[in-house]
Structure 1
Amino acid sequence: MKTRKYILLGMVMAGLSLSVTSCTDYMDMQRYFKDQQSEDHIFENKDNTLQWLSYCYSALQGDNLEIAHSDVCPTNYSDDMVFNEGNNGERFRRFKLGEYGYGYAYQDYYTTSWPKSYEGIRQASILIQNVDKNKDLTPEEITDVKGQARFVRAYLYWLLLRKYGPVPIMPDAGADYTESYDNLSFPRNSYDECAEYIATEMAQAATELAEKRNNVNIARATKGAALAVRAKAYLFAASPLANGNTEMADFTDKTGRILISQTYDESKWAKAAAAARDLIELAESRNLYRLYTSQVRTNTTDEAYPNTITPPEHPVYSHQDFPDGWQNIDPFESYRSVFNGELFASENPELIFTRGKNNNHNGELKDMGVTDLAKHQLPGTAGGWNIHGVTMKQCDAYAMADGKPFDRATCPKKFTADDNKDEHPYDHLRNGVYFEYANREPRFYASVAFSGSMWFCLSAKEDGYKNQQVFYYRGESNGRTNGNERWIPTGIGVMKFIHPKDCNTNEGKMEGKVDTAIRYADILLMYAEALNELTGTYQISSWDGATTYTIQRDMEEMRRGVKPVRMRAGVPDYNDVVYNDPDAFRRQLKHERQIEFFAENQRFWDLRRWKDAPVDEAEQIYGCNTLMNKAHAIEFYTPVRVPYLQTSFSRKQYFWPIAYNELKRNKNMTQAPGWEDYD
């Protein structure tokens, strides 16, 4: 039997793990030969081949999860959300200050995404090179397996690019391990080269992948998923961080080649718009994706699944069905159900790519996903950790029910009560809730657990655990506690991802949560954002060359992206004045993304690619005055700085540092600007 000198085998079974520490382990000859097996034994066998593919997908777990435990996904916490775990928020504070990487107190955190990604890239490359020899798979199955492996490989590069900036693109066919070590040290490619590689590979994958998956394979890549990542790579390459960013002139390789574009190129926005449109056209022509909506609910007395709250009267949108209006939908339930486990992945037409229910795997903390995140949000009285909080900045960003901005100065300084129910008709608030939380848009109630929110805990065995109205005043069961980190430092909790049945005590259970890695709302808003940046007209071919788009700043095309998201949320679309003003539209689009994608690991990256992080992430964190007890309830809602969760932003925080071991092993690797290079 023929063997191949650079193929790593023997570790294909799910559940087995490979310990890696460096990108250069990709080129470790001793490692390859150690567990070498016959090429034919692995790739001519269907089961072994599919196990190998599953192992490729496993690289998307752990530190490559996108909505997960703060241990593996600290980027889910930007200027919008905080976590209190780790010595009363000390780990969050140090992360926000950029104190991670070699030499810092938390150098053991957030370090495995680099080696895990390159391990997955290597495994996927080996599979792509060998799957054609499989005798048990049909030609169609071989094409699909190859497309899935190609997707995983390019997706891992996308995750690396987003986090580390320009990274080395490894040889697709594998390295020649007879070469000297010096020739096996790969430098960073430029940002544009990385983005173009990802886009090209995803376009190829789109020709190989299925359009849909059955329920068993719902977490596998599809044509739409490949096109979505292609669009995201182009959007990031077009954004200010990577497009004409002279501030990054010192981000170079060892030869002095500048890795970030120094000259602004508007056509990059056109490419990003065309790539997003590719997916929109596919979705509409093939009925593949749409925003999830729940129908109007009436005649129910179930507080956990309340009657639809009709948004304030609007002369147009109140009298048209979705997507032209909200007449026939329940905006609150439509948004809430996407995240809280109400829907299986196969039931949600909005999901373009998901890892499925990325729950705890084999009891390993490092693999805790969305369900674990929800446990950290649950109040202590519901068996949760009561440890994640919304910043006051994020809380105030949600609009009023009529779409107007929230104004703290004009908000009544009183609480909901029997005698003022007619003053807050656009919510389901119980008595005792501060009025600044009344009459807000539906996404607010699906996302924010303000003091006085209801936690229904319907899976609890005993009624005493159900239907809890939770307050965060000091002295309350879920309020501030000295000597204990299980309280919310901003006094504002997180409701997103919480299902009415969720309870982690009294024999209750957590509904499984589906990872929303890429959803259609993102593509729609990306399309509008990219169009807004154009001043010229561009002719750009579709991804498959079947047609040519005329790409330009077009108000109706921009509305095509924004309006469905606003209608689903039950808030009016922007007026023509906003659509006609690029600066005003850009401000509104950024705000829309802040609200729509709260707690979905988007804000951290958006602020960086827009180069808004030096302002937004350096602002001091404000919350409620958690020192106040119920007797001083009004004072509780006075904005105060959260002193031990303060933050700043320095230039180095645009990109993550390369680990010390990697810099030692790879003589051609350079460090990101601002981080210690160790030369």
Structure 2
Amino acid sequence: MKKIYIILVTIVTLGMTSSCSDYLSIDKYVNDMLTLDTVFLRKNYTEEWLWNTYSYLNNAGAEIANKGTNCFSFASDEAIFGDWWPRCRIYQNCEYTANDGYEDRWGHLYQGIRRASIFIDRVEGCPELGNSEIEDMKAQARFLRAYFYWLLIKQYGPVPIMPEEGQDVSLSYDALAVARNTYDECVDFICREMTQAARVLPVTRNASRWGQATRGAALAAKAKVLLYAASPLYNGNTDLKSLTDDQGRELIAQTTSEEKWAKAAAAAKDVIDLGMYELLTVKADETTVLPPPNIPSSTIPYPNGSGGIDPFKSYQQCFNGEITASKNPEFIFTRQSYTGSDLNDIAKHAAPRQMNGWNTIAATLKQEKAYLMCDGNPITSPSAEYPYRPKEFSLSNSDYPYIGANVSLRYAYREPRLYASLAYNGCVWENGSTTETQKIGLQYFYYKNDPSGKRLSEPDFYLRTGIGVKKYYHPDDSWNTGGQLKYKVEPTIRYADVLLWYAEALNELVSGQTYQIPSYNDQTMIEVKRETGSIESGRGMRYGFSRVRFRAGLPDLPDAVYADYESFKKELKRERQVEFFLESSRYFDLRRWKDADIEEGAPVMGLNVDKNNSDEQRPLFYEERLAEMPKIFLPKMYLWPIPKGELKKNKKLTQNPGWEK
């Protein structure tokens, strides 16, 4: 049987010019086979092929990026993009269709899959590579292929798993059509590939190779895939019973399996047991705002408490470029943009107009309220020592930690992650690298007619909720004269993710059963069951959850919360909302939990940005009101529509429920 891999090869650039329509287009590629053979005779061309395959993780393959590349952070309930660009409004109001191509990653990711498959099939034929090089590079390609499939099923649900051996070019187009696999079949394939890759990949890379797949990246990706498979959207979801293949086979499991949660917990424990990762922490110094002394864990050294670290800087510097990715012990897998602009583009769109920012990315009021008080109490039930006083204002720059003068006390005594993530009304933007010294360290307000508020002269450039965003901003970042920007990489998978996956999965093991799950190398069995555990024991829900809390300067949860399934699940969901703000996690978390209809179905709330800074109107700015962003949620929005053009070309493809065929 003659095989064909659908790819267009250019020897010099190894560039990709085919579109998603080319997967079943055969004839024009037959003549490229001799060229393909030539590529894999040379080491440099072979390496370039693999590096180019990595490039499919960028642009349309990115998970955290700017508005033109990835809008999932702005299509959920955590933040909105408010300038002239209509795409985020379209997502919030379900104005997109299977025809318009918005967030269409289908063709892009299948191109990456094809490149990886070709590499796996041909790399062993390169005479200029040693065996160890071949095995490592082949494992990287296997990781990439599995990760591309993961990105597909995360967005679209079950997809076709393409034949690894290629296809017979003599067959008709109809015969080459491939039906969707079940979701569980997709998960099984991805996990097998990740496991196989993990057994070969090194545990670490030097700085010059940072961003290439490692054992931890493969195991963490596997854990994430298994967690999603265990979640309600795909685990016994009768709401998706109508999602079938072309023969009527149900693609989503209709019965719930607790064992899926056990497998997810064990996969997360595989990553933990590597002993390679830790949450990023910055040592406390004379500038550190220490956690409240009434928190018992505040003086116990981290990781058993919050002692000895600066919680604010520990969280802030994880994202703002202060620490390079290769030196960040929390980063398991990252993406590098070729331009380095994606996260800085987010920062620029969040920055005030006087800094030459666009002043358009706004956090929702729901997101602001999710941040706890500094002693761990919610704003709805604060303590007497650390009250929540939204109707009062600070009088000087030294009244309260973090906030300056004339700032609403709704922002006083809040947990450090709020100050590292949100740009509240009256926030200081450091603007440290500009040569315009008069613009360094200024306080910015979002009142109507203020330079960064709602103004008739620039009707698109204001914060629709009155709550700004500071995540991904470095104090030295500046877009003014002489300004420079810190280079930042996408925090694709962080160790905080793994710890919370572990805790979440254990909480779901409510039957009382103990599971024995093989580790990735089949040499040991991992015991998982629902247990509180401890940091000292290296296992249990507390081991995963409390480390994230302590890094944030917050106390651990009481034993009673760990003991109660619903109470812990509520805390876990809030923790993920705060910890992974603006990391494209919330959009998919709400879907896998089947919470999106409630959380995203609610209107977007903000502050009253039509009030100015006069004595009379200043307090009225903090009135809660509907933001100027339409918002609905329809059941079909749990899955993204498969592009209509793909349905026309592949007759065996079926559309996701509710979307036009």
What is the TM-score when the length of structure 1 is the normalising length? 0.92
Amino acid paired to 2:436:
E
Amino acid paired to 1:91:
R
**Residue among 17, 40, 43 paired with 2:40:** 43
Q: What is the distance in 2 between the residues matched to 1:336 and 1:227? A: 26
Q: For residue 555 of structure 1, give the secondary structure of its aligned residue in structure 2.
A: coil
| 1:272 equivalent in alignment to 2:268 | no
Equivalent pair of 1:124/1:150 in contact (CA under 8 Å): yes
1:579-590 equivalence runs, <5 A: 579-590=562-573
**Residue among 643, 647, 657 paired with 1:663:** 647
Residue-by-residue CA offset, 1:635-675 (whole Å, 9 max, x unaligned): 00111101x31211111101111111101100000000000
Farther-moved stretch of structure 1 (402-411 vs 311-320): 402-411
| 1:654 equivalent in alignment to 2:638 | yes
Q: For residue 267 of structure 2, give the secondary structure of its aligned residue in structure 1.
A: helix
Residue-by-residue CA offset, 1:109-158 (whole Å, 9 max, x unaligned): 322x1101000000000000000111111111101110111111000000
Q: What is the distance in 2 between the residues matched to 1:67 and 1:15? A: 26
Q: Which position in structure 1 is the counterpart of 2:302?
A: 322
Q: Which position in structure 2 is the counterpart of 1:457?
A: 431
Q: Which position in structure 1 is the counterpart of 2:63?
A: 66
Q: Which position in structure 2 is the counterpart of 1:109?
A: 102
Farther-moved stretch of structure 1 (170-179 vs 115-124): 170-179
Q: Which position in structure 2 is the counterpart of 1:400?
A: 373
Quote the offset at 1:44 in angstroms: 1.8
Q: Which position in structure 2 is the counterpart of 1:365?
A: none
Quote the offset at 1:374 in angstroms: 1.3
Farther-moved stretch of structure 1 (237-246 vs 173-182): 173-182
Q: Which position in structure 2 is the counterpart of 1:448?
A: 422
Q: What is the distance in 1 between the residues matched to 2:54 and 2:392? A: 52
Equivalent pair of 1:449/1:495 in contact (CA under 8 Å): yes
Q: What is the distance in 1 between the residues matched to 2:373 and 2:167? A: 57
Q: For residue 335 of structure 2, give the secondary structure of its aligned residue in structure 1.
A: coil
| 1:160 equivalent in alignment to 2:152 | yes
* 1:101 to 1:62, Cα distance in 2 relative to 1, 3 A: farther
Amino acid paired to 1:192:
D
* 1:408 to 1:319, Cα distance in 2 relative to 1, 3 A: closer
1:64-463 equivalence runs, <5 A: 64-77=61-74, 78-86=76-84, 90-103=86-99, 107-111=100-104, 113-282=105-274, 284=275, 288-298=276-286, 307-314=287-294, 316-356=296-336, 358=337, 360=339, 368-407=341-380, 411-418=389-396, 421=398, 424=400, 427-463=401-437
Q: What is the distance in 2 between the residues matched to 1:265 and 1:7? A: 38
* 1:30 to 1:290, Cα distance in 2 relative to 1, 3 A: same
Quote the offset at 1:102 in angstroms: 3.7
Amino acid paired to 1:624:
L
Equivalent pair of 1:465/1:506 in contact (CA under 8 Å): no
Amino acid paired to 1:394:
Q
Q: What is the distance in 1 between the residues matched to 2:192 and 2:612? A: 58
Q: What is the distance in 2 between the residues matched to 1:44 and 1:332? A: 52
Q: What is the distance in 1 between the residues matched to 2:32 and 2:25? A: 12
Equivalent pair of 1:359/1:371 in contact (CA under 8 Å): no
Q: For residue 374 of structure 2, give the secondary structure of its aligned residue in structure 1.
A: coil
Quote the offset at 1:389 in angstroms: 0.3
Equivalent pair of 1:146/1:208 in contact (CA under 8 Å): no
Q: For residue 525 of structure 1, give the secondary structure of its aligned residue in structure 2.
A: helix
* 1:4 to 1:613, Cα distance in 2 relative to 1, 3 A: closer
Q: What is the distance in 1 between the residues matched to 2:299 and 2:345? A: 41
* 1:6 to 1:603, Cα distance in 2 relative to 1, 3 A: closer
1:5-16 equivalence runs, <5 A: 5-6=4-5, 8=7, 10-11=9-10, 16=15
Quote the offset at 1:218 in angstroms: 0.5
Q: What is the distance in 2 between the residues matched to 1:591 and 1:514? A: 25
Q: Which position in structure 1 is the counterpart of 2:619?
A: 634
Amino acid paired to 1:296:
A
Q: Which structure 2 residue ranges, 5 or more long, are not aligned?
A: 383-387, 534-539
Quote the offset at 1:27 in angstroms: 3.0
Equivalent pair of 1:340/1:498 in contact (CA under 8 Å): yes
Quote the offset at 1:359 in angstroms: 5.3
Q: Which structure 1 residue ranges, 5 or more long, are not aligned?
A: 299-306, 362-367
Residue-by-residue CA offset, 1:354-378 (whole Å, 9 max, x unaligned): 013x2537xxxxxx52121111111
Q: What is the distance in 2 between the residues matched to 1:202 and 1:94? A: 35
Q: What is the distance in 2 between the residues matched to 1:378 and 1:12? A: 43
Q: For residue 597 of structure 2, give the secondary structure of its aligned residue in structure 1.
A: helix
Quote the offset at 1:605 in angstroms: 0.2
Alpha-carbon RMSD across the aligned residues, in angstroms, is 1.7
* 1:602 to 1:7, Cα distance in 2 relative to 1, 3 A: closer
Residue-by-residue CA offset, 1:362-415 (whole Å, 9 max, x unaligned): xxxxxx521211111111111111110000000011000101001399524121
Q: Which position in structure 1 is the counterpart of 2:537?
A: none
Residue-by-residue CA offset, 1:88-119 (whole Å, 9 max, x unaligned): xx43222112221345xxx24322x1101000
| 1:672 equivalent in alignment to 2:647 | no
Q: For residue 235 of structure 1, give the secondary structure of its aligned residue in structure 2.
A: helix
Q: For residue 517 of structure 1, give the secondary structure of its aligned residue in structure 2.
A: strand
Q: Which position in structure 1 is the counterpart of 2:520?
A: 543
Q: What is the distance in 2 between the residues matched to 1:439 and 1:250? A: 49
Q: Which position in structure 2 is the counterpart of 1:553?
A: 530
Equivalent pair of 1:237/1:268 in contact (CA under 8 Å): yes
Equivalent pair of 2:14/2:48 in contact (CA under 8 Å): no
Q: What is the distance in 1 between the residues matched to 2:167 and 2:219? A: 28
Equivalent pair of 1:12/1:52 in contact (CA under 8 Å): no
Q: Which position in structure 2 is the counterpart of 1:518?
A: 493
* 1:395 to 1:56, Cα distance in 2 relative to 1, 3 A: same
Quote the offset at 1:445 in angstroms: 0.4
Q: What is the distance in 2 between the residues matched to 1:178 and 1:331? A: 63
Equivalent pair of 2:466/2:609 in contact (CA under 8 Å): yes
Q: What is the distance in 1 between the residues matched to 2:329 and 2:527? A: 28
Residue-by-residue CA offset, 1:167-194 (whole Å, 9 max, x unaligned): 0000112222222222210011001111
Equivalent pair of 1:376/1:388 in contact (CA under 8 Å): yes
Equivalent pair of 2:423/2:470 in contact (CA under 8 Å): yes
Q: What is the distance in 1 between the residues matched to 2:26 and 2:488? A: 41
Quote the offset at 1:580 in angstroms: 0.2
Quote the offset at 1:591 in angstroms: 0.5
Q: Which position in structure 2 is the counterpart of 1:304?
A: none
Q: What is the distance in 2 between the residues matched to 1:457 and 1:13? A: 43
Equivalent pair of 1:79/1:391 in contact (CA under 8 Å): yes
Amino acid paired to 1:459:
S
* 1:453 to 1:585, Cα distance in 2 relative to 1, 3 A: same
**Residue among 585, 597, 603 paired with 1:614:** 597
* 1:5 to 1:250, Cα distance in 2 relative to 1, 3 A: closer
Amino acid paired to 1:290:
E
